[in-house]
Amino acid sequence: MRKLLKYLKKYRIESALAPLFKMLEAVFELIVPLVVASMIDNGIGNGGNGTHILKCFALMIVLGVVGLVAACTAQFFAAKAATGFSKDLRSDLFRHILSLNFRSIDNAGTSTLITRMTADVNTVQNGVNMFLRLFLRSPFIVTGAMVMAFFIDVKSALIFVAVIAVLSLTVALIMSSNIPLLKKVQSKLDDVLNLTRETLQGVRVIRAFAYEEKQYEEFRGSNDELSGMQLKAGRVSGLLNPLTYVIINLGIAVLVMTGSDRVYNGILTTGQVVALYNYMSQILVELIKFAGLIVTVNKTLASANRITDVFGYETGMKCSDDPVSVQKGKGASIEFKNVSMTYYEGADEALSDISFRIEAGQTLGIIGGTGSGKTTLSNLIPRFYDVTSGEVLIDERNVKEYDVKSLRENVGIVMQKAALFAGTIKENLLWGNEGAGDDEILSAVDAAVAKDVIDSKGGLDARIEAGGKNLSGGQRQRLTIARALVRHPGILILDDASSALDYVTDLKLRTNIKELSYSPTVVIISQRTASVQHADRILVLEDGEGVGFGTHEELLKNCGVYKEIYDSQYKKEVG
């Protein structure tokens, strides 16, 4: 939590004024029982002094109004500090998440990052708000009430000391058993959120395989487990109020019994006993508030630690001390030298000892079965991941020598899943090049065989829903290819980017890319031999290993895996 306190620096004044105004409210609250005592002793008990009663009544109204103003002012400053704190924290956290490298995102998990951004930040915000309002007020009221009791009567005040000691012990015992339960609840909540997100993302597959009932049972089991933990934590915390009330009421009973004797003996007045009763009631209310504050603070600390963990995740990629920029506007050679790669320590290798080279302006086809490492290999070119061993060279330089931003600006990559964002078609295409004019955009659209998409939707200013939900799979793929081409990349990576296209459109797309004036180096990843057979070189992958490299004709003769893929698809097409 200490690492997050820097976000309160901008709100130092609000953070100081909130508890101070709460203290002011507490002072007025502590005066009220004395005014009531004076009203009883000097007004009601003094032959019915109406003037004094009215004065006391007026004073109580003034104290109440001033206390209300102080409380509202404190709430305003606390809320301003807490919301400003969470705004700045959430903004920095979002910026940090965007800067995480792929490996950190893989290890953290999307659902975890979403939970940290939403639920955990809100918990911390509520904790800061409550802490600023109560961390001084509650102890001040409890201590102040006990001190005022000593001023009224020392013997009666000893009852306060005993009651506060017993109450403090009770609260400590309940909190010590409840806080670990609350931490388990928060952890289990992550599991439920992860399962919910997974279900919603795969809802089409779930329905396609009639898996709804099984998925529902899995969710119900996880949800029931979470509910059980919450109920257990609730039962423990539920003991707090009744035990507190019992202890306070026992204290009040003892106070009234001893007080009646001392009133009878003339040691105390009736008003003083009533004041002591009011102070005891104030202690009851404040201790309950303070116990709630302890629970909230512990939730806040747990959430703050989880947020701090995210800030500790590795960002970006380490570069050389003097990184160089990529020469843009032309194709670049690509070479892999004995490259191996694992996604995390101790895992099996996703790629093993891969070596090949293609010259600038050439086309490389990569083919292989599902899970053979095709996408992993392509992710090493723009340096989304670093190799475990070996080297990836672009224009004879190790990618680690390049400035990462410069390197990625020269790579146009179309992922397996076409990703479009809510906005116009033009806004989506400008992601490739913010300074592109309409002519450049339309040229890229033509090259991506996407002109009919633009025309059918009503032009570049047509709206696209989040994820491109109002487009077909093929339309989404062509627009994402156009977005990559707007950049005029020196290296163009098409990661199964034509899987939703028919063979005619796929052929036209590849022809258009081959005829681009700036001659990019093209990497085509596909499971269809028709998409890669005209490439200058084809790399065949199987279980992360390179089992073939050459032209289409060479591989048909020398690579059994490639021939098997080709024959299976060719015979299927003929049949």
Separation CA 145–CA 142 (nearest Å): 5
- pLDDT for 46: 62
- Do 539 and 548 form a contact (C-beta atoms < 8 A)? yes
Largest CA distance in the chain: 120
Q: How many residues does the chain have?
A: 575
Separation CA 477–CA 331 (nearest Å): 23
- pLDDT for 173: 83
Catalogue the E-assigned strands of 163-314: none
- pLDDT for 48: 66
Enter the DSSP assignment of 422: S
Separation CA 148–CA 280 (nearest Å): 11
Separation CA 386–CA 402 (nearest Å): 13
Nearest in space to 71 (alpha carbons), one of 29, 127, 123, 125: 29
- Do 403 and 325 form a contact (C-beta atoms < 8 A)? yes
- pLDDT for 574: 42
Residue 395 tokens, joined? 């224009």
Report if pTM > 0.95: no
Domains and CATH numbers, the chain: 9-311 (1.20.1560.10), 334-574 (3.40.50.300)
Q: What tens-digit pLDDT sequence spans the chain (575 residues)? A: 778 888 888 899 999 999 999 989 888 888 888 888 888 877 776 666 778 788 888 988 998 899 899 999 999 999 999 999 999 999 999 999 988 888 888 877 777 788 888 888 999 999 999 999 888 888 888 888 888 888 888 888 888 888 888 888 887 887 778 777 877 887 787 788 778 878 887 888 888 888 888 888 989 988 998 898 888 888 887 787 788 788 888 888 888 888 887 777 778 888 888 888 888 888 878 877 877 787 788 788 878 888 888 888 877 777 777 788 877 777 889 999 999 999 877 778 899 999 999 999 999 999 988 888 899 999 999 998 889 999 999 998 999 888 888 888 889 888 888 888 888 999 989 988 888 888 889 999 999 999 988 988 888 999 998 888 888 888 898 999 999 999 889 999 998 887 778 888 888 988 998 888 888 999 999 888 888 888 999 999 999 999 999 999 999 999 999 999 888 887 644 44
- pLDDT for 65: 92
- Do 262 and 268 form a contact (C-beta atoms < 8 A)? yes
- Do 418 and 475 form a contact (C-beta atoms < 8 A)? no
- pLDDT for 393: 93
